[in-house]
Amino acid sequence: MPRALLQVGRLSGLYTDFWAGRKLQRLAGRTGLSTLRFLASRFHPALSPACTKSWNWHSLAWDVRLRIRARRAGQYRGFLEVGQRFSIQVREALKKHSELKSESILFGYDTGALEVMEWGRERGMKCVLDQMDPSRVEADLVREEEERWPGWAQLSRNIPEEFFNRREKEWALADRVVVNSEFCREALLKQGVAAEKLVVVPLCYEPVVTGQRPVVRGPLRVLFLGQVVLRKGIQYLIEAARKLETESVCFDVVGPIGISQAAIASAPSNVHFCGRTSRNEAADWYQAADVFVLPTISDGFAITQLEAMAYGLPVIATPCCGAVVSHDVDGLIVPPRAPDALANAIQRYLDEPELLKGHGAAALVKSKQFSLERLVANLLKLEAELNRN
């Protein structure tokens, strides 16, 4: 988002919790520590440090407090505290900028924008909030999954009412609420956000390296990459894998584990849990795969489907995320919570290698449609609409 705004001269300033400098990037390169590599990734050369303001030491302290608070009172109370602290820091920083006028537009992200938007609205500014997930709708879906699959969740998501209340106050203050998918838009409509406030702006992805996939060689390699949690539908992927245990298919499950050891132990032998990966290492998993699966129950968008397509992978996805896959063109759409349909889709690619190749080629073409230029056009359209009102 900030790069798109900067490209057309619409970014006056970027306020973020952590922004890596050159020294940190060099240190991360020398030591190879995973924590340093993660922090060093909070940087982009296209964004001038001159327009970027961060609170690095405060951010690290907030993260420590969040972890402590998560053990005592649950992580969502920690998210509330961090969101409020960050929003207040931004508000106080903005007060020093006399050049901000009533025609300025404040763009913030959910849970971390309330105090900033209150201050901006008092001064007649327009406010845009990016809501990254379906909020209560998603929480209800995950709760249903925890009841369907008892003992599977590593940690139950006990979300306090104050968390949702804060988001609802942000929605009320915002002139527009940006969501990244029609799925998320429908979810917010159910929660009372006015239709005229909601704007769907799909995300973009710019790959460093892309390439068309070769025809299947050996077992069909199916990749799941993301948080290994009930929300992402890992339970249904495991059931689908069980149905394909005698077929020439192997499943690589890559990402931080959020299910219990008992759940992992229940998986069939063709499922391999590979753990957390870095952004750079993710490229190797995409290169090694033949098919990408996204059996998600709820996602604001799921950028991984674009990443997979950029590597020439057909994607098997549910409708519960951003509308990226065109069914039977560059991938296959299956219903959520449907292991039989998921297994059948994977079996189809196993039986029809030419279909796999054709869908992979089409996926590579599709990925190029979700460009930074498209994001720029959507944001300029949003700006023009705000200025007309």
Query: What pLDDT is stored for residue 216 in this prediction?
Result: 47
pLDDT tens column, 54-109: 998 888 888 887 777 666 667 888 889 899 999 999 999 999 887 788 889 999 99
The residue assigned the tokens 């460009």 is 371
Superfamily of domain 220-367 in CATH is: Glycogen Phosphorylase B; (3.40.50.2000)
Two tokens, residue 223? 């990749």
Query: What pLDDT is stored for residue 228 in this prediction?
Result: 98
Least Cα distance to 342 among 207, 251, 231 occurs for 251
Instruction: Specify which residues 2 forms β-bridges with.
Output: none
d(CA 46, CA 48): 6
Edge-first strand order for the sheet with 126-130 is 105-109, 126-130, 176-179, 198-200
Range of weakest confidence among 40-54, 278-292, 299-313, 340-354: 40-54
pTM over 0.85: yes
Sequence-ordered list of residues with C-beta below 8 angstroms from that of 351, at least 6 positions apart, any chain: none
Range of weakest confidence among 38-47, 170-179, 264-273: 38-47
d(CA 310, CA 292): 11
Return residue ranges of the chain for CATH 3.40.50.2000: 220-367
Range of weakest confidence among 41-55, 262-276, 296-310: 41-55
What confidence tier does 34 reach under pLDDT thresholds 50, 70, 90?
low
pLDDT tens column, 307-330: 999 999 999 999 999 999 999 999
Query: What pLDDT is stored for residue 281 in this prediction?
Result: 84
| Environment class of 161 (CB within 10 Å of its CB; exposed 0-12, middle 13-18, buried 19+) | exposed
Instruction: Specify which residues 106 forms β-bridges with.
Output: 127
d(CA 348, CA 298): 25
Three-state helix/strand/coil letters over 315-354: EEECCCCCCCCCECCCEEECCCCCHHHHHHHHHHHHHCHH
pLDDT tens column, 336-377: 999 999 999 999 999 999 999 999 999 999 999 999 999 999
73-82 long-range contacts (CB < 8 A, ≥24 apart) are: 74/158, 74/159, 74/160, 75/155, 76/157, 76/158, 76/159, 76/160, 76/163, 77/160, 77/162, 77/163, 79/111, 79/163, 80/111, 80/160, 80/162, 80/163, 80/166, 82/112
Inform me whether the pLDDT recorded for 110 exceeds 60: yes
